[in-house]
Amino acid sequence: MSLLPWTIYFTLGGALLALAAGARSAAAARWLALATALAGWGATLGAAVRFTPAPGLQTLVDVAWIPELGVRYHLAADGISLTLVVLTGLAATAGVLFSWNVTERTGEYFALYLLLIAGVYGVFLSADALLLFAFYELAIAPKYFLIAIWGSTRREYGAMKLVLYSFAGSALVLAGLLWARAASGAGFGLADLAAGPYTAGQQTGMFALVFLGFAVLAGLFPFHTWAPTGHVAAPTAASMLLAGVVMKLGAYGCLRVAMPLFPAGLAFWQPVIAWLAVAGILYAGAVALVQDDFKFVIGYSSVSHMGFVLLGLAAANAGAVGGAVLQMFSHGVIAGLLFAVVGRMVYDRTHTRRLRDLRAMPMHRLLPFAALTFVLAGLASMGLPGFSGFPAELLILVGAWKTSPVWALAAAAGVALAAAFTLRAIQLAFFGRTGGAAAGAPRQSLPPITWPERAGALLLVGATLLIGLRPDLLLGWIGPSLQSPLFQAALKGGAP
């Protein structure tokens, strides 16, 4: 477990080195970035192998930092953090592989990318609320620049919107945390803040601020509009990371900070959150069904899937929350795959993302690997059993049913919607001209799929299949973590 803080340090170091190396050669920067990402991921896997699940956070580092402000440098992890840092390592490695073709300002690109990853690792490992917040904000500037410099459609607008929404969310969180600390009087450690004591009215207000602030980043309807625009504007690897991991920061914040600290607030706001989550699932799914830009379909599907996560959190029982964390992992991998295919494999070669244009090309013949990968990713996204999305959605539905069956029904409609829009995208993009019609298409060829793309795709597909068939690998970590006293106070309901 003590390997885990090294994820942050390796990645930060790697970022600086990549910046320096980039001045020399782009290839040096790439390989350095890959090595750093693998090192970080390796550290998480190493920690995972030795992990013994237990309720409560296991401290990794706890040093006084700013005693005058009550802030400590306190890193800790439990099964939930472990799941998410493993995801981060995986997504980072895949992202670096899918960025292999970045030629402009390569060193700066990888430096910013790794800085973002370091911030994400930090959030998942922090046990002090302000430290968590600081890492969360650390990730903001790299996001802006990654999108504004290397992005595509309306990148400056998309970058600014994404960053301002994130920052607004974090402003809300800061307000809530400061208020909580002022009321509780102790330091900023999560355990200190949880001890309170707060009146019910205070908890309602604090929960609203902190949860909403984090939920904006998680894409809660109707504060989700930054997500499709931002993800579409971002370059491929950034989209993979943003949709795959950074949105999970928001959900993690809700789970780690808002829910255990202010259980009375959770009880008060629960129905509102659940209905907003359901609305997000359905609305985003419906919008995805009519998009012409391939990447927008994926962007909206991310919002829809995050709606499931938020629904699971709102249902507030052990099974649903476990399902939500599993869905965080699952969607992280799947979103990465989807964006990788759309952005890197298809767009970089065909220079179009419009389904109308792609339909005219026999894409499944021109890029069979991309077609296969996207089909697998699409099936996973639909929640097809065998892939990681299914057990996650099942647990969320079961958990939601326990709290309020209507939510589960509405969410099920979302599953059907997801099938519809995913299938439509698959059909239009890759199988637009099949059978006899394909013979009549103009002869073209596209550049072949490179080895980094294959490697990245295999990693991600393997991950979703592994967890789809053996979700207990992760649930074995997550379940005990939810038995900790802090969570038990917030969640109702027993074992799944």
User: Which segment (255-263, 441-449, 455-463, 470-478) binds another protein by CB under 8 A?
Assistant: 470-478
User: Which segment (39-47, 244-252, 411-419, 444-452) binds another protein by CB under 8 A?
Assistant: 411-419
Closer to another protein by Cβ: residue 171 or 195: 171
Alpha helices in 226-315 (DSSP H): 226-233, 236-241, 247-253, 259-261, 263-288, 294-315
Least CB distance to another protein at residue 472 (A): 4
Least CB distance to another protein at residue 200 (A): 16
What track of x and - describes contact with another protein for positions 218 through 237 (by CB under 8 A)? Answer: --------------------
User: Which segment (26-34, 141-149, 249-257, 297-305) binds another protein by CB under 8 A?
Assistant: 141-149
Which residue in the set 416, 444, 451, 462 belongs to the binding site for another protein (CB under 8 A)? 416
Does residue number 144 form part of the binding site for another protein (CB under 8 A)? Answer: yes
CA neighbor of 313 nearest in space, from 139, 441, 47, 491: 491
| Cα–chain center distance at 170 | 17
SS (H, E, C) 84-148: HHHHHHHHHHHHHHHCCCCCCCHHHHHHHHHHHHHHHHHHHHECEHHHHHHHHHHCHHHHHHHHH
Least CB distance to another protein at residue 341 (A): 17
Closer to another protein by Cβ: residue 415 or 463: 415
Closer to another protein by Cβ: residue 318 or 460: 318
Closer to another protein by Cβ: residue 93 or 481: 481
Q: Which amino acid is at 262?
A: F
User: Which segment (3-11, 136-144, 241-249, 294-302) binds another protein by CB under 8 A?
Assistant: 136-144
Other CB atoms within 10 A of residue 304 CB: 28
Tokens of 35: 């090595």
What track of x and - describes contact with another protein for positions 96 through 115 (by CB under 8 A)? Answer: ---------x--x-------
Least CB distance to another protein at residue 320 (A): 10
Does residue number 14 form part of the binding site for another protein (CB under 8 A)? Answer: no
Closer to another protein by Cβ: residue 279 or 289: 289
Does residue number 141 form part of the binding site for another protein (CB under 8 A)? Answer: yes
In angstroms, rounded to a whole number, what is the distance separating the alpha carbons of residues 216 and 14? 30
Least CB distance to another protein at residue 75 (A): 15
Torsion of CA 73, 8, 91, 471, to 10 degrees: -60
Does residue number 466 form part of the binding site for another protein (CB under 8 A)? Answer: no
Does residue number 412 form part of the binding site for another protein (CB under 8 A)? Answer: yes
Which residue in the set 207, 390, 477, 487 belongs to the binding site for another protein (CB under 8 A)? 390
Site for another protein in 51-70 (CB under 8 A): 65-69
Which residue in the set 9, 275, 369, 431 belongs to the binding site for another protein (CB under 8 A)? 431
Closer to another protein by Cβ: residue 315 or 342: 315
No. of H helices and E strands in the chain? 26, 2
Buried residues in 366-378 as b, exposed as e (16+ CB within 10 A): bbeebbebbbbbb
Closer to another protein by Cβ: residue 93 or 204: 204
User: Which segment (248-256, 302-310, 456-464, 475-483) binds another protein by CB under 8 A?
Assistant: 475-483
Which one-letter DSSP state was computed for residue 354?
A: B
Which one-letter DSSP state was computed for residue 154?
A: T
Task: Give the position of tokens 């960025």.
Answer: 99
Which residue in the set 47, 148, 358, 457 belongs to the binding site for another protein (CB under 8 A)? 148
In angstroms, rounded to a whole number, what is the distance separating the alpha carbons of residues 330 and 466? 10
What track of x and - describes contact with another protein for positions 160 through 199 (by CB under 8 A)? Answer: x--xx--xx--x--xx--xx-xxx----------------
Which residue in the set 186, 271, 470, 485 belongs to the binding site for another protein (CB under 8 A)? 470
**Are residues 243 and 335 in contact, defined by beta-carbon separation less than 8 angstroms?**
yes
Q: Which amino acid is at 26?
A: A
Least CB distance to another protein at residue 445 (A): 19
What angle in degrees, to the nearest 10, is found between the helix axes of 318-339 and 368-382?
160
Which residue in the set 61, 366, 423, 449 belongs to the binding site for another protein (CB under 8 A)? 423
Q: Which amino acid is at 243?
A: A
| Cα–chain center distance at 32 | 24
CA dist 46 → 41, 49, 173, 325, 473 (Å): 8, 5, 33, 21, 15
Which residue in the set 156, 200, 271, 290 belongs to the binding site for another protein (CB under 8 A)? 156
Closer to another protein by Cβ: residue 94 or 112: 112
CA neighbor of 363 nearest in space, from 344, 382, 349, 343: 349
